[in-house]
């Protein structure tokens, strides 16, 4: 993919694998990503890392998320920038 600078692409699981749907409204990766968004003071790369670690822990590493990014400036989300 030819992505513009300052782009992060997140994958819920590795190539050739199937992501767990989860039991609720969202899939397993989305569940952990939404939880990581709520942690104060994390930059965007740490948010994706925390979400991935949560998925790996919950699935005993049967699902391993990944990200691909072009170097980006430090960027943090705040509660005010997230949807309710």
What is the C-alpha separation between 7 and 59, in angstroms, rounded?
27
pLDDT at site 78: 60
What is the C-alpha separation between 27 and 66, in angstroms, rounded?
15
Q: Is the pLDDT of residue 54 over 90?
A: yes
pLDDT at site 74: 73
Kindly give, in sequence order, each residue whose CB lies less than 8 Å from that of residue 19, ignoring residues fewer than 6 positions away: 12, 13, 27, 28, 29, 63
Average pLDDT (58-80) is: 80
pTM listed for this prediction: 0.79
pLDDT digits (tens, 9 = 90+) for 7-53: 889 999 988 888 888 777 889 999 999 999 888 888 888 999 999 99
Average pLDDT (57-65) is: 95
The H-or-E segment that residue 10 falls in is: strand 8-11
């Amino acid at each position: 993919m030819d992505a513009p600078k300052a782009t992060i692409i997140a994958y819920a699981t590795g190539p050739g694998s199937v992501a767990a749907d989860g039991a609720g409204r969202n899939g397993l990766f989305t569940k952990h990503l939404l939880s990581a968004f709520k942690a104060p003071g994390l930059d965007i790369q740490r948010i994706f890392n925390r979400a991935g670690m949560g998925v790996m822990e919950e699935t005993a590493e049967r699902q391993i998320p990944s990200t691909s990014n072009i170097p980006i400036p430090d960027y943090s989300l705040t509660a005010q920038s997230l949807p309710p």
